Copies of this chain bind each other. A is one copy, B any other.
Amino acid sequence: MASLSSSSNKGSLVVKSSLIEPDGGSLVDLVVPEIQRAAKISEAEDNAKDGTLVNMSLPIVLAIDDEVKEKIGVSNDVALIGPNDDLVGILRSIEIYKHNKEERIARTWGTTAPGLPYVEEVITSAGNWLIGGDLEVLQPIKYNDGLDHYRLSPQQLRKEFDKRQADAVFAFQLRNPVHNGGFVKADDVPLDVRMEQHSKVLEDRVLDPETTIVAIFPSPMHYAGPTEVQWHAKARINAGANFYIVGRDPAGMGHPTEKRDLYDPDHGKKVLSMAPGLEKLNILPFRVAAYDTVEKKMAFFDPSRAKDFLFISGTKMRTYARTGENPPDGFMCPGGWQVLVKYYESLQAEDSPQKQTVLSA
């Protein structure tokens, strides 16, 4: 067996659930004893035969370079080694394919322009070969950042929803602190601060802790717009969600070299409404919320009295925090706000010396 310094974890145990059917008919957990393999393979073949369509819009692949490929040679199985040289899994009955980066990028992003963050960080430096096979995970991936208890597998999430006797599961994805209206596009706030703020939002019962589960989906953003949003939707289905809230331009970004959005802001929602394999997911349109200065609470934006509404951006939150001013009552729970104040203050402490450096240069 050759060994390979890279890792991956995903979900052959069929999870019984009263919830929405997972994409493809059943959840597959790769962390299974060898003895169950034959039965699982036959099960998987039956799933494929029944005509169920599996939507896989983003390739989840493991790239290797020429050197690793040569090292693997004619081995049938490879060991997967984590960053600390720990054995995390075995890839059996491997197959190796050419990694056509240009075609992968063009078909995933609809552009090959330089400056796509995921391409620059992950693909450009990756090897020219892709390796696949039957994956056996020997130990679940840990980040050891104090947040691993939030990284729930689809099975764990479904078990939790069942325990709470959920008859409907709504999913929404947050990359920003939660205010009382849902979420706004704020300046990026790091994961640990966001998670702390989320826990305060539950503590202060803005969202009911009995019916709310906060979890981290450790899937790096591709910013591949309509292509990526299908992956987000599929992953939520597999985690048990049957309602999914989609906004304008989901997973979109500005064109890396032209002064325009990379994607049509309506294409993400349109693609989800017709993507094969995702029919069972109910798509909820995202409605714009803002602070209603008359009702003194977050509310759906009413264009007929636009002047009553206040849009509180990340920049504005940061200004409030810097000047020691509180946001208007009803915008965010006090506990959650204090988490952000602390964070924004730490940024100021970092920013000031930097600015001075610039001035004196």
Contact = CB atoms under 8 A, between A and B. Distances in A.
Interface of A: 51, 53, 97-98, 100, 102-103, 106-107, 109-113, 263-264, 276, 279
B98 A106 contact: no
A113 B101 CA distance: 13
B110 A111 contact: no
Given A51-B279, A276-B53, A279-B51, A103 B111 contact: yes
Given A53-B276, A264-B100, A276-B53, A111 B111 contact: no
Chain A interface, >50% SS class: loop
A2 B165 CA distance: 59
Nearest to A97: B264
A95 to B, nearest CB: 12
A99 to B, nearest CB: 11
16 contacts: A97-B264, A98-B264, A100-B264, A102-B110, A102-B111, A102-B113, A103-B110, A103-B111, A103-B263, A106-B107, A106-B109, A106-B111, A106-B112, A107-B110, A111-B112, A112-B112
A111 B279 CA distance: 30
Nearest to A102: B111
Q: Which 3 A-B pairs have the closest CB atoms?
A: A103-B110, A106-B106, A276-B276
A160 to B, nearest CB: 32
B110 A106 contact: yes
Contacts of A111: 102-103, 106, 112
Contacts of A103: 110-111, 263
Nearest to A275: B276
Interface centre among A51, A110, A113, A263 (most CB of B within 10 A): A110
A6 B97 CA distance: 44
Contacts of A263: 103
Q: Which of A51, A98, A106, A264: most chain B CB closer than 10 A?
A: A106
A58 to B, nearest CB: 14
Contacts of A109: 106
Contacts of A264: 97-98, 100
A279 B49 CA distance: 12
Nearest to A110: B103
A178 B68 CA distance: 47
A288 B264 CA distance: 45
A204 to B, nearest CB: 44
Given A100-B264, A102-B110, A106-B106, 6 more contacts: A98-B264, A102-B113, A103-B111, A106-B107, A106-B109, A112-B112
A30 to B, nearest CB: 22
A276 B54 CA distance: 10
Contacts of A97: 264
Nearest to A276: B276
